[in-house]
Amino acid sequence: MNRKQLSLVTVITLSLACLCSIAQAAETTGGLIPPPPISVPYGGRVVTEINISDADILGVIKQMIPAVGEVIATIAPAVKEQGDAGKGSVVMEALQKVDFQGLADAISGIKNIRVLVVSYPRQIGSAELLEQLDAGVAKLGRFSRIIANTDTSADSPMGLLAVYAQADGNGYVGYGFDSGSRKLFAFRLIGSADAQKLIKWGTETVKTVVGAIRQATSDETEKPQSQ
């Protein structure tokens, strides 16, 4: 089986797994499952919504993360045998060393993710918007605001940003506002990620990938040039 065939089989398998999971969830509940509520200021129009949970695609994604490493390990030798050169081959070899199981373990506690993009017909001042966000989140339960940035000047790398943590540690709500497009980006996460594991995984992954790429680049440089 060549690389293209293997990739096609992988895509088909993932698609079928997602469809089966969604079908099972629909049969079990007998109707639409209400998403976790997110409070947004009045006057906007929701233009995009994403809602995934363990009962559907999120559960499948978390189950498939460890398999990513196995797929890469299967494809990489074929890439090398076919003599594919360049950054693609180097990155593939680097990804073989990534611990995808560690990522799956770190996010296993996340149960539901909901994202909204809301378009507003007028600009909203930073102070006014933050006040409305505070009031709205307070209606969702007991939360603490852990991040806030109201500097929307050209020098600010973030723009308006606010993140709230649920008091029982069981979730987060976050907002970002793009004044240029007048769009509010909101998310709610139910459950919790293991911050210690996630930081450890991220740090080790960066070291692993960067180290592998540097080594591969060094090996390529040291190869004798044919005359």
pLDDT in tens, 100-151: 888 888 888 899 999 999 999 998 888 999 999 999 999 999 999 998 988 8
Q: Which of 162, 93, 169 is nearest to 128 (CA)?
A: 162
Please state the rounded mean pLDDT for residues 156-171.
Answer: 84
Residue 35 has pLDDT above 70, yes or no: yes
The owner of tokens 């196995």 is 70
- For residues 109 and 77, what is the distance between their CA atoms, to the nearest angstrom? 34
Helix axes 195-222, 87-95, angle to 10 degrees: 140
Residue 203 has pLDDT above 80, yes or no: yes
Residue 199 has pLDDT above 90, yes or no: no
Residue 67 has pLDDT above 80, yes or no: yes
* Mean of all residue pLDDT scores within the chain: 79
Helical ranges in the chain per DSSP H: 3-29, 57-81, 87-95, 100-106, 126-138, 195-222
User: Given pLDDT bands bounded at 50, 70 and 90, which one contains residue 30?
Assistant: low
Cβ neighbours of residue 206 closer than 8 Å, sequence gap 6 or more: none
Name all contacts of 197-200 with Cβ < 8 Å and 24+ positions apart. 197/102, 197/105, 197/106, 198/103, 198/106, 198/107, 200/102
Report the first-to-last Cα separation within the chain, whole angstroms: 36
Bigger pLDDT: 27 or 49? 49
Other CB atoms within a 10 A radius of the CB of residue 32 amount to 7
Residue 25 has pLDDT above 70, yes or no: no
Residue 186 has pLDDT above 80, yes or no: yes
Whether the pTM exceeds 0.75: the reply is no
Q: Tokens for 102?
A: 């560690």
Give pLDDT, residue 195.
76
Give pLDDT, residue 65.
87
SS3 call for 55: coil
Half-sphere exposure of 160 (CA within 13 A, CB side): 23
